[in-house]
A and B are shown apart, each in its own frame.
Chain A
Amino acid sequence: MRRSLRAVFLLLSLTLIGMILDGCWSRREIEELALIMAAALDAEGENQVRLSAFIINPREIGGGQPMGAGGGGGTRMPGEIVTAVADNFAEATRRLEEHIPRRVFWAHNRVIILGDGLARRGLQSLDWFSRDRQMRLDTVVVLTEGEARRVLDLPPGIELNPGRIITGILNSHVILKVELKDLFAMWQARGDNPVVPRVVLLSPDEHSGSKLQGREGRPGGGGEGGEGREAPPAQAAPAAVRFDGAGVFKDDKLVGYLDHLETLGTMWLRGEVREGVITFNCPAHPEGQVAVRFYRSQTKVKPHVEGDKIRFLVKITAEGDLTEHTCDDSLKDPAQVRAMEEALRREVEKRAEAALDKAQKELKADIFGFGEVLHRQEPKFWKQVQDHWNEIFAGVEVKVEPRMEVRRVGMTYASVEAIRGNTGGKKTSPGGR
């Protein structure tokens, strides 16, 4: 028994020594990491790719402790932008490490910005992002026209880094949001094509409305030239981004863009609408405006196959609250509300139709995942069409049936207009409440 005790001690000390001598293979201290918060992917030259990454500077963001040296005032950057060119992104990451003093750490990257050029070349080069274990599958993917790198130049405002700015906007539930795993799923499925939201850079004037404020009023704006190791692009630095429309991929290549309305239609058809506002003119009084804020929507797609002909019936249901109403009819009348719902229905139909038009006639790509629906419902028939689904899709008949319900009308019953109109006419007495 004593012997075994001695053996335990021996073993313990041996392992300890062994571990201290050459252990700690996967160890990386937290402060030795270069935390990437956003990555921009661009095409470069013929076959090469350019990886630009926004690396955070924890001292600034983390409200650094008084760590002795390096105090001083002056403007400091929330991060650095670094860029590397290589044959593929895995290699590009290694290249990044050649000129930054810390180890690249991808696990906290929340945004991948695809450049227009790379997207047109195809998604193949993204394989590394699904294979590497550091990647988050819920990283959002966005598309930008022109160079993706420029999006990283967003100056700090409420949020300090472009990754947070973009994810923050996307979390509003109003905009199409595509995560990395969604992108791969859409790309892999034969009956679906990827749609990726597009960001547009805004100049300072567009962002804050005032030319004077845009340039000088922003505290962080002074550092335009200093950031990153790369020379700033020829254009003036952007002040903000806005989401507008979406890029459409056919299989894995970018083929075109949807405008704002068409993107909304696509979201309705894909069943990805979660919240939003629809504004339209009053059914009875075109000069007035109605805004409905809706939530809780559902989209059901039903395929009908008769011989060679395929028909899709899309049932959209949504409910919402009235948030603005400047017409002069009273909302106490159920018929009025019904008329409102009808107008709303037409509005949604319009959007869906616009998207369908674009997808079927112009792009000839099924961006709504209808093919997958067909696949599930009619697996036998799907076998016959799966290889040339996009072409067939261009010719299928799609019927959209929205059903909208206005649940509540907000805190007032009638608009001021309506009350003034009604007192004159003495139709109903508004004095009730």
Chain B
Amino acid sequence: MSRSREEGFIGPWQGAILLWFSELPTALLFLPALIVSRAQQDAWMSVVLAIVFTLPLALLLGWLLYRFPGRTLFQVAETVLGKILGKAMTLFYVLAFVQWNAIVLREFGEFLVAAVMPETPLIVFTVTLMVLAVYAARNGLEVIARSAQFILPLMVSFFLIVLVLATPKMSLRNLFPLLEGGLGPLLLGAFITLGSTGEIIVISVVGAFLQQPEGVKRSLILGLAGILFFLVLGVMGGVLVFGACEAGRLTFPAFSLARVISIGNFLERIEVLFMAIWVGGIFIKVTLNLYIAALGLATAADLREYRPLCAPLAALVVVLSVWLFDNLTGVLFYLEQVLPVWALLWQWTVPAALALTAVIRKVEGSRT
């Protein structure tokens, strides 16, 4: 069996932070508007609900890692399904991650073009970010995790500062009435959110480099808690300041928060700083996805090194990101209508099937 892994381990906090970064940077930008337009002022409940629905997935992924300690999802697939089927599944995941990465990259580009620099061609942003991502991904998971650890405090503190500065413009009334539309819109909102929360599937690869099984457990719990916390804050912030109506109308409500605040009447419109810091977050996300795809492809091809695969995969991602959508509306439509279903398939159903096969065929991971 190939061991296309990087030498190195990450701590449980680093694992949790990677989970946050695999979800939040784009989710905080795009999701609030989508959820709010469905669930209105109850959007935060949708988020809570979605996290609750994600718990089974977390348990499933945790179980896989418990049963096959130190193995990435790709290695598990090969162990459980045999060589050919396993490789097929790994390839499927590589493609899924590449496609997902292309979407994230496109979201990022669209955000920058729409909100900050409309005259600049989108490809400039995507290519520059991807070049950087290749550099980072080649340096391995440890470096990615450490970079994430460095960016996290910046992102969190900036996000919280924006929220705190926006409090004078908030009014609690905007959260009421509760459950105006009944459960329907709530579930719909949660369903859309599921498309993003399913991204905790990265733990099935990242988790292999965690200490078993305590580290995985802590990573998952901390990761989900953080995602819940920040997503709820992001959704609530938008609704509290703008009201459900307006927040559903804005393309980037969380970002618009930064548009309405000023720091002591000197720095006014700090949305550009918001953008700059968000670029850091999205960069980690893109890098992580790229790293996982490269690692998967290396496993499938029985290569000892994943590094040479980063650049070609990145090129593929850039091309896909341009080719998949025509415009921002297309991206939003995809996120709203297609992604949840597709995510249910590749992030939920396939791992579940894998676990089931492992149980039926009684395959166990050797402890190495």
Contacts and interface: CB of A to CB of B under 8 A. Distances in A.
Binding between chains A and B: yes
Interface of A: 25-26, 107, 133, 136-138, 181, 184-185, 188-189, 375-377, 379
Given A107-B269, A375-B177, A376-B176, 4 more contacts: A136-B268, A136-B269, A189-B243, A379-B180
A23 to B, nearest CB: 8
B56 interface: no
B253 to A, nearest CB: 12
Contacts of A189: 243, 245
Nearest to B174: A376
A25 B245 contact: no
Contact of B177 (A133, A137, A188, A377): A377
A137 B120 contact: no
A26 B269 CA distance: 18
A189 B171 CA distance: 15
B173 A376 contact: yes
Contacts of A188: 245-246, 249
B117 interface: yes
Contact of A181 (B114, B124, B176, B260): B260
25 contacts: A25-B117, A25-B120, A25-B121, A26-B120, A133-B115, A133-B116, A137-B256, A137-B259, A137-B260, A138-B260, A181-B242, A181-B260, A185-B242, A188-B245, A188-B246, A188-B249, A189-B243, A189-B245, A375-B177, A376-B173, A376-B176, A376-B177, A377-B177, A379-B177, A379-B180
Nearest to A378: B177
Contact of B246 (A184, A376, A377): A184
Given A185-B246, A188-B246, A189-B245, A133 B119 contact: no
B266 to A, nearest CB: 14
Contacts of B115: 133
Interface string B139-180: 000000000000000000000000000000000010011001
Contacts of A107: 269
A377 B177 CA distance: 6
A235 to B, nearest CB: 36
B180 A26 contact: no
A136 B260 CA distance: 8
B82 interface: no
Given A185-B243, A189-B245, A26 B117 contact: yes
A181 B121 contact: no
Given A138-B260, A376-B177, A133 B246 contact: no
Contacts of A25: 117, 119-121, 124
A10 to B, nearest CB: 13
B39 to A, nearest CB: 14
Interface string B242-279: 11011001000000100110000000110000000000
Contacts of B184: none
Nearest to B128: A15
Nearest to A132: B118
A336 B177 CA distance: 44
Contacts of B114: 133
Contacts of B177: 375-377, 379
A25 B121 CA distance: 8
A184 B245 CA distance: 10
Contacts of A26: 117-120
A330 B118 CA distance: 68
- In the A-B complex, the 3 residue pairs with the smallest Cβ-Cβ separation, listed nearest first, are A26-B117, A25-B120, A379-B177
Nearest to A189: B245
A189 B249 CA distance: 13
Interface in B94-114: 114
Contacts of A137: 256, 259-260
Contacts of B256: 137
A163 to B, nearest CB: 15
B37 to A, nearest CB: 13
A133 B118 contact: yes
Contacts of A375: 177
Contacts of B119: 25-26
B167 to A, nearest CB: 16
Contacts of B245: 185, 188-189
A188 B117 CA distance: 29
A221 B121 CA distance: 48
A252 to B, nearest CB: 15
A375 B244 CA distance: 13
A107 B246 CA distance: 21
A301 to B, nearest CB: 10
Interface in B206-259: 242-243, 245-246, 249, 256, 259
A206 B211 CA distance: 81
